[in-house]
Structure 1
Amino acid sequence: MQPEKAPLHLKTTQLFLTWLFSALVMQVGLANESETNARPEIVDLIIGEKNIDVVVDLHQAFRWEHTRYESLDTFPQPWPGSPAMPYQIWFKEKGILEWLQTDMVFLGNYTTLKTHEMEASIFGYLLPIAGKYDPVTHRLTFDDLAYRPLFQVPDLIVEESSDLNHWSEATLSTPQPVEYEWPQDLSLEIQKKDGNRFYRLTLRAQ
């Protein structure tokens, strides 16, 4: 008596699970390595019909320098028909600060008081302005406004392999973003290919 053949949908499901398991095994290996060297790591793969969202934890520590903060509130622009915009703060090198309020940019200097506290001296303001970052809510309070932190995204490469020996750069479906809201994860969308695939993340050499 011949054994009964498995229905087609079960075979398809088995192939899909094999493909997914292969990707997840590679993901776990990268996570263990990343914990020791604090390099970016893949923490999840969201598989769609044509694309895969590669969810990345960049493992960037909190910092003031080289960050941009954007107010949660938005404010009307002086030009008719223009959309409301948030205030923005740029913390630059050597304690230089730029503060954008609608159509005006105020320049100043900032000093770090504690890990999550700073003080800014703004040209045109008589008194310094204190800023405090809340590590629980991930919000900066500055001049009675709440701001969200935006960090620059390093130049990342998602590499793929079918055998763990030969690797090639995966094709991004959408351009890599310039910034991301820290400390949230970053999502990179790559094109989905047939067959088993392993994925890893590297930084492009400068």
Structure 2
Amino acid sequence: MSGEAYLTLMSALPHLGDLFTAKESPCSGYKLATRLKMLSQEDAELLSEIENLLQWSHNPITLRDAEILSRAKKLLPRLQEKSELLAETVDNRLEQRTVLAAMRRRQRGDIAPPTDSLWGYGRWLKHIARYWNEPTFRLEGVYPWLSEAEQLLREDATVELDHLLLRSKWEYLGYIGEGHYFDFEAVVIYVLRWNIINRWTGYSGKAAAVRFTNLVADGFMGLPK
């Protein structure tokens, strides 16, 4: 797509506003999907793959870690060719998901890290194993919200933890979006933030707690994404 096409698309999308003061989504899912039809087939397919990898609501609860890792390995090389920023974004989200999944395993009573290499993703696997008995695996310097997340997990405060993770993702996407207003990166960041605000405005604490409790897999699927 040309820069002018991205400009036209982004100009047609409503302003998202602030996450926690929003009462409703800035536009319906149907309206968003209609606007996104302006994307080229290549861009539309790439966006769909990113969403399917990162948005837990887009996947069945039976989806296993090995399948998520397989999807990531297929997507990231292609994404790097298109946008290093978006590749880093996906990489960062999967690594954070791995840290949180490790916390959940330990909170359940696992006295040692998993030996199966398919349980997680990214650069922190050996680091997590080394510091398994540290509350935040000594990664609070990398993820400042991790100490609060660990405490909320210990307290079984599922709703509060979900809020914390939503806020963290919202702020991260806002940060990396600086300087990207009318390009493919801007479109992807907008859609990922729309997913967050749509989830927030349709939020049900009871439903979130039930969903959290029913997540029975060990790894990536062990926490809301």
User: By the TM > 0.5 criterion, same fold?
Assistant: no
Q: Name the TM tier (shorter chain).
A: under 0.3
Structure with the higher helix share, 1 or 2: 2
TM-score normalized by structure 2? 0.22
Q: TM-score scaled by structure 1?
A: 0.24
Q: Flag the structure with higher strand content.
A: 1
Structure of larger gyration radius: 1
Q: Which structure carries more relative contact order (alpha carbon 8 Å, separation 6+)? A: 2
